[in-house]
Structure 1
Amino acid sequence: MHYFGGLNLRVAILGVGAIGSLFASSLANTDVDLILYSRGSQSAALASTGLILTTIDGDIEHHQPDRWVVSDLEIIEPLYSCADVAIICGKSSSTPALAIAAEILLRPNGIALSVQNGMGHAERLVARLGKHRVLAGCTTHAAMRNGPGEVQWTGRGAIRLASLDDSDLAPDDRRVDDLLNLLDISGLNPEWEFDCAEMLWQKLLINVAINPLAAICGVRNGELLVRPDLHEQALSAMLEAAQVATAEGVDMSFFDCEAELKRVLEATAANRCSMLQDVMAGRITEIDSLCGEVVRRGEELGIPTPLNQQLLTLVKGIEHSTKTG
C-alpha cells in the first residue's frame, strides 16, 4: 500500500465519463482505495467487467472490477464519510448532485477537487463543504469513451490545481501534498497554480474557442486550425471572452490567445472535443458553463459578448433538436 501522511489514502471519483475513466485507470495503478460514483450502463460496466484503457501508445490496460467500489446514485451507508479526496469529473449540469455526493462521501476533513470544464463549479462545492476543503482545477489531458467501461487516452497533458481566494489550502497542507504526490505517481502530471482565477480563465478561453465551433460544425479540433474561416471565428470568440476576464481584474497580459490556441489545436488536431462527443451522443453539453458563463459575466460588467451569445444559442438549439428528434 502507498501511505500518505501516515494513512492509506481513499479517493472517490465523481462522474466517470471519459476524463473520470482516465483518472480512475491511472489511479488504479497505485495502491490507493478507489470509489467510483457513476450511473447507468457505465456504472454497470465498471462493477461487472471493470475498465479497459487504450493508452496513448496503443497499449491496453484492463482494470478488474474488484479494484474499486462502484456507487450509483444511492450511496450505501458504509461509504459515508470514508473518502479523503473527492475528484469531481462530472458534467457541469450534474454539479449540484455531485456536490451532495461529495459531502456524503468525504471525511470531515476531506477535500474536493473540481476538474470540470467551465467556471462556477468550485463555488458550488464551497456552498456544501466550505472554502477550506475545496480546490479548483482543470486538466489538459484528453480522452474519449469508446463504450461503457472503455476509454481511450487521446492526449497527454496535466492537471492544474489552485486554492480559492482566502482558502487555507496550500501545497504545504498535508492533504494537498498527499494529493499532489498521488497525482504525480499515477502519471497525471499535477501542477500547482497560485492564481486560481487566471488558471480557470485560461482554460475557459481555450474551451470557448474550440468546443462550440467543433460541436456545431461536427469537426475534429484540427479543422479549426486549417480552415481560416473557422480559425478566425474561434479566435474572435476567445478574444471576446478575454475582455470579460480582464474586466474582472484577471491579468491576461502574459497569455497570448492566438499562440495558445494554435498550440492546443496542433496538439489535439485528431481529437473530438468533449462537446462534440456530447452532441454526437445526444447528451446535454457544457455550453452553459462555458459561453453561457462568459455571457452572464459580461452582462454583469456591461461588456457585450455577441459571439459567445451566438455560440450559446446555436449549441442550445442543437441540444433541443437532439431531444425532440
Structure 2
Amino acid sequence: MYTPKASIWMRKMNTMTPKATCDQPRLHVLGLGSIGTFAAHCLAGIPAPLTPSITLLLHRPNLVDEYIRRGRKIRLETIAGEVVDCENYHVEILDNGEWHRVQTESGLSPAVLDDIIDHLIVSVKGAQTTAALKPLKHRLNASSHILFLQNGSGMVEAANEEVFTDPATRPNYLTGVISHGVTLNAPFDITHTGFSATSLGPVPRSKSDTEETAPSYLLEALPLVPRLNATTYSTLDILQIQLEKLAVNAFCNPLCALSDAKNKFLFTIPDTRRALLTEISRVIQALPELRGIPGISERFSVDKLEATVNGIIHANLETTCSMVVDLRRGQKTEILFINGYWCRRGREVGVPTPINDSLVRQILERQGDMELAKEYSLERRNGPLVEESVVLLHVTTEQICGEK
C-alpha cells in the first residue's frame, strides 16, 4: 500500500480560519456515466476538514435541463434499497468552446471561466478522453492533478500524445480502478448494485520516474469515503491492479455485450473464460515493465486470474456492463481500450491474441466500424504462435453461442 508523501492537505485544512474558505479544495468531474456519477456522489461524502467544492462539467445543454428537473441532486439507490440524495454541486457547461457557470435561476453566467482546475476526475469513455480534455487544456497546468477513473487502459498515453504534449506543463496524473457495480438508470440517477473496492495510485511523470513528485489531495481524501472503499497504492501496485481489472473487463464486457446479458450470464461459459484468460496471462507474463517483479507469475497465473474474475462477477451478478448498454443505444464502445489493449501489448511482446482479436472485431462490427474491424481479422495477424492458437479461437467463438 502506498502512503502519500506528506499529509499536506490535512495539515492545511486543520489550520484554516473561517476566513480561509477560499482554500477549500476544488474538485471537477468530467464524465457523468455510471462511474462518474458514482464518483461525484461519493465526493460529497469527504469529511471535514477536507470537504471539497464539487463542480460537474457538462458538454450537453440537455444535461443541464435534466439536472435542474431532478432538483439539482444526484440520486443513489444503495444495495439495501435506500435512496441517498446529494446536492450543492456547482455546474459548468461548455458553450461554443467556452465554459460558463450555470446559475441557479438566471441560466448561464456571461462570464467565461478560465480559472485553473486543481483536481479533475475524468470518467468519460476511453475513446472520448482526448476530445473531452481539449476544451479544458488551458485550465490545467503542472500543478493540476487528473485522476483517470475509467474502464480500460491507454487513455493516459492518448492524452500525452494529443493534449498535453509538453512534459514541462503536463498535469500530474493519477489512475483509479473501480470494481463496484453501478448502473446508470438515468442522468444523475444511479443504483449501487455491487459493493467492492476502488484502487488509486500515482502515474510517473516520465518513464524514468518511479513515483509522483507532487503530493495529491485526491489520494488523501478519497479513501476517507466509506462508500467508495478506496485504497492508495504505489505506482507498481496500481499497475498490477489495473491489469487484473482489465482482464476482468476483457471477459465481462464483450461477452455480455455480444449476448445482451447481465454479468450472471458469464458463469455459463467457463471454457470461454479459461481460454481468454490463458491468452491474457501469456501477455502479462511477457510485459517488460513487470520483468523481475517477485510474485508476478503466481499473481497472473490463469488459476489466479480466474479466481479474481469470478470474485468480481459474483459480487456484481445483476450488473449490466457498460458495453451492453452502449450497443443497445447504438453508441461506440470502449473495446479498443479493453480487449484492444491486450491485442496491442500482445503484438509488442510477440504473443498472439486471436481470441481478443476476434472479440474486438465482433464488437467493432456490431457498432458499425466495419473497416476498423478488418484490422482485427485473423488473416491480418502474423506471429509464431498464431497457428497454435487457432484452435482456442475456434472453440471460444463457438462456445459464446453454445454454452448458454
Per the normalisation by structure 1, the TM-score is: 0.87
Query: Where in structure 2 are the equivalents of 1:1-325 lying within 5 Å?
Result: 4=10, 5-6=12-13, 7-30=23-46, 31-40=51-60, 41-49=62-70, 50=72, 51-64=74-87, 66-72=88-94, 74=97, 75-76=99-100, 78-106=112-140, 108-127=142-161, 128-129=163-164, 130=167, 133-165=172-204, 166=209, 168-169=211-212, 173-174=214-215, 176=216, 178-187=217-226, 188-194=228-234, 195=236, 196-225=238-267, 227=268, 230-249=269-288, 250=290, 251-255=296-300, 256-320=304-368
Structure 2 gaps of 5+ residues are 1-8, 14-22, 101-110, 291-295, 370-404
Contact 2:58-2:94 at 8 Å conserved across structures: yes
1:222 alignment partner, SS class: helix
Contact 1:81-1:107 at 8 Å conserved across structures: no
1:207 alignment partner, SS class: helix
Following TM superposition, by how much is the alpha carbon of 1:88 offset from its aligned partner in structure 2, in angstroms? 0.8
Following TM superposition, by how much is the alpha carbon of 1:205 offset from its aligned partner in structure 2, in angstroms? 0.7
Tell me the distance in 1 between the aligned counterparts of 2:281 and 2:158: 23
Contact 1:235-1:261 at 8 Å conserved across structures: no
Structure 1 gaps of 5+ residues are none
Distance verdict in 2 for CA 1:168–1:71, change over 3 Å: farther
Identity of aligned residues (%): 25
List per-residue Cα deviations over 1:63-87 (Å, max 9, x = no partner): 34x5222333642365423422111
Following TM superposition, by how much is the alpha carbon of 1:111 offset from its aligned partner in structure 2, in angstroms? 0.5
Contact 2:263-2:316 at 8 Å conserved across structures: yes
* Code of the aligned partner of 1:56: I
Tell me the distance in 2 between the aligned counterparts of 1:293 and 1:116: 14
Distance verdict in 2 for CA 1:140–1:58, change over 3 Å: same
Tell me the distance in 1 between the aligned counterparts of 2:30 and 2:265: 32
Tell me the distance in 2 between the aligned counterparts of 1:70 and 1:48: 16
Structure 1 range deviating more: 14-23 or 157-166? 157-166
* Code of the aligned partner of 2:153: M
1:219 alignment partner, SS class: coil
CA RMSD of aligned residues (A): 2.4
> Max radius of gyration: which structure?
2
Distance verdict in 2 for CA 1:155–1:305, change over 3 Å: same
Per the normalisation by structure 2, the TM-score is: 0.71
2:119 alignment partner, SS class: strand
Tell me the distance in 2 between the aligned counterparts of 1:37 and 1:83: 11
Tell me the distance in 2 between the aligned counterparts of 1:212 and 1:184: 31
2:367 alignment partner, SS class: helix
